[in-house]
Amino acid sequence: MQRDNHSWLTDLRAGGDQRDLALLDLRQQISRVLPKLISRYLSPNSEHFDAFVEDVIQDTLLRVLDRFETFEGRSKFTTWVYKIAIHIALGELRLKKWKEFSLDKLEEGLSDQMPSEIFASEDPGPEDMMERKNALKLVQKIIQEELTPRQRTIMMAVNVEGVPLDVVAERIGSNRNALYKMMHDARLKLKHRLEREGFPPEDILSMFGN
């Protein structure tokens, strides 16, 4: 059954069999589109692929039921639903990537090192390379001297390793608000120390192409 935006909303609001039929049709449409979208990020040959797709479809339908009244009609209703589905899928894939992540390697010494590759920019000249190298040593020194071990671990995990904040919070038995506060305090320490050393923080950041 072909529906326009108004029909989708009407059927979902109706409840009962009318809503159930609309959800069934919506499930079938998502099932046709979602595997292709997800295959860019998760191989269809993976033993988890089918179960993952099914989980995303279920979560998408629940999200649609909870939020369809917020649909503003700027696109097709199904396009809006597909965006919800891929957003859920990517969020789940990102969390699964860090499922086995441990802060142990950071706590055992990774926090003493900051890979210079994260500051690389295109075709730096010899003078720029030397300047960045010296600045990097200064930043490493300040991190070691100014931040607590816990602040170093969190900053390295989130800002260098790219671990989601929720994952770090779970691993250390904390919460997002506490980590935000800790990271804010750590950045202030770095900023104030750089200023005392005579290096405006903005200059350091621009040096690394930030």
pLDDT of residue 153: 84
Q: Does pLDDT of 112 surpass 50?
A: no
pLDDT of residue 202: 67
Angle subtended by helix axes 16-38 and 49-67, to nearest 10:
130
Q: Is-contact 146 196, C-beta < 8 A? A: no
85 phi, psi to nearest 5 deg: -60, -45
Looking at residue 8, its pLDDT comes to 94
- C-beta atoms surrounding 206 within 10 Å: 10
Q: Higher confidence at residue 192 or residue 102? A: 192
- pLDDT tens digits along 37-95: 888 878 888 888 899 899 999 999 999 999 999 998 888 999 999 999 998 888 888 77
pTM of the model: 0.51
pLDDT averaged over the chain? 79
Please name which of 26, 29, 28, 38 lies closest in space to residue 68, comparing C-alpha atoms: 26
Q: Tell me what pLDDT residue 111 has.
A: 40
Q: What residue has token string 């779970």?
A: 170
5-97 fold: Rna Polymerase Sigma Factor; Chain: A (1.10.1740)
Query: Worst-scoring range by mean pLDDT, 21-35, 63-77, 179-193?
Result: 179-193
CA triple 109-131-207, angle to 5 deg: 85
Q: Model confidence at 113, in pLDDT bands (50, 70, 90)?
A: very low
* Centroid of chain to Cα 116: 22
Residue for token digits 């072909």?
A: 2
Residue ranges of domains in the chain: 5-97, 104-207
- What is the C-alpha separation between 148 and 60, in angstroms, rounded? 42
